[in-house]
Amino acid sequence: MEIKPFEKKIYLSSPTMHGDELKYMQEAYETNWMSTVGANINETERLVAEKIGCKDAVALSCGTAALHLAIKLAGERLYGQPRVGHGSLEGRKVFCSDMTFDATVNPVAYEGGEAVYIDTERDTWNMDPKALEKAFEIYPEVKLVVIAHLYGTPGKVDEIRKICDAHGALIVEDAAESFGATYKGQQTGIFGDYSVISFNGNKIITGSSGGMFLTNNVDDAHKVRKWSTQSREDAAWYQHEELGFNYRMSNVIAGVVRGQMPYLEEHIAQKKAIYERYKEGFKDLPVTMNPFDAENSEPNFWLSCLLINEDAMCRQVRGEKDVLYVSEPGKSCPTEILEAIAAINAEGRPIWKPMHMQPIYRMNGFVTEAGNGRARSNAYIKETGFEDVGSDIFNRGLCLPSDNKMTTEQQDVIIEVVKMCFV
């Protein structure tokens, strides 16, 4: 069966604009508030804080900037203000989600800390509480945990919070991908001691760039605002008593976010419909969709992902940059499916490669439910059949085209192309 490529590319997740964004950008232009102050920033911060249910929100240049200042703030709260040129986590270990984008964990290194990666659980593809508990047994001195909600799906928040509280550890919550998702009726972004969201161009609400620091402590919000504007003191001249950053969101970008905000629930509904159509379309294939805890959470369904059953995987070998696979009847692999999708002018992606597998972080600590992942030999894995969960999901999983402008008919074609890979 020949399927013709789409004339217009179907993206993984591209911005969906509505027109209100242009109105607020134009307002910034006409009033000449083009810098990092203005009505759009103030209103966007108010709208986001109201949506999340937190006391304050600080608009920043990107989600990574928000994470950096959240982690810096946590470090200073735990260990005191560092000397200039030294990070707030200098020489300290920090527990971090393993299967995530590296923006989640890079700020730990910015602040001189060392990430120790915690394996993933299969129920939501997020940080495994059992592995986290094991990590505290191995590294009892750790006092900071950085968690991410992968692909818009909330993790096991209550279990992680209980463990962190028992060990006196703070939580930085990376809700960059999960804006609008809820856990037990509450918005993600409310569960960390410090939390962040992202408005990157591919997120469910976008400003083309931008991020937000979220907190229930107004003094912390004031501190982050100050840091984000080069730590200028309240003086008539430029006075600086601590290290600062150029991290504030512009009033123009804030106009885009402000215009997007009324459409959050609409975007979530569209993304959920895409997820459910894929799930129905693949019901007879040896695959499953990215899971979530339906009893306790409602994802924002930012990306729809597919996991191939172990016995339906054809042979696939990945190097650092290259990949090889052998096509087999009735079986497939992520590479084959992604190539088939690309051939019809649609965009899929591999699952995030776990941080413990990344060359830059390969020597960092890594803890699984069974204990210290670095201590496991290849012989042990072969003998027991035990493999860390994140590596397994990376090996067998992929992200499907999830753009909310994709039509039902276009998605049906993509579903058919995936089915053909298993013939």
Burial of residue 367 (number of CB atoms within 10 Å: 0-12, 13-18, 19+): buried
Q: Would residue 203 show up in a list of annotated catalytic residues for this protein?
A: yes
Positive or negative torsion for Cα 135, 139, 144, 146: negative
The Cα–Cα gap between 77 and 73 comes to 6
pTM, rounded to two decimals: 0.95
Q: What are the distances in angstroms from CA 72 to CA 50, 108, 167, 340?
A: 25, 8, 20, 44
pLDDT in tens, 36-58: 999 999 999 999 999 999 999 99
Q: From residue 22, how far is each of 28, 41, 61, 265, 267 by CA, in Å?
A: 10, 15, 19, 20, 18
Contact predicate 254/248, CB 8 Å:
no
Give the pLDDT of residue 378.
Answer: 45
**Looking at this protein, which amino acid is placed at residue 350?**
P
Contact 387, 259 (CB under 8 A): no
Within the chain, all domains assigned CATH 3.40.640.10 are found at: 20-262
Spatial neighbors of 200 by CB under 8 A, at least 6 apart, are 62, 63, 176, 206, 209, 210, 211
- The pLDDT value given to residue 385: 56
Reference 390, options 155, 122, 33; nearest CA is 122
51, 72, 134, 203: the active-site residue:
203
Q: Where in the chain is the domain with CATH 3.90.1150.10?
A: 264-363+377-420
264-363+377-420 has CATH 3.40.50.720 classification: no
Instruction: Identify whether the C-beta of residue 60 lies closer than 8 Å to the C-beta of residue 249.
Output: yes
Query: Which residue from 203, 187, 204 is spatially nearest to 195, judged by alpha carbons?
Result: 187
Tokens at 358, concatenated = 């990344």
340: Cα separation from own chain's centroid: 26
Using one digit for the tens of pLDDT, what is the confidence trace for 63-75? 999 999 999 999 9
What's the pLDDT at 379? 47
The parts of the chain modelled with pLDDT lower than 70 are 1, 373-386
CATH entry, 20-262, from 3.40.228.10, 3.40.640.10, 2.40.50.140, 3.40.50.720: 3.40.640.10
Q: Identify the pLDDT of residue 364.
A: 96
Nearest to 401 by CA among 3, 2, 1, 8: 8
Helices first, then strands: H and E counts in the chain: 13, 18
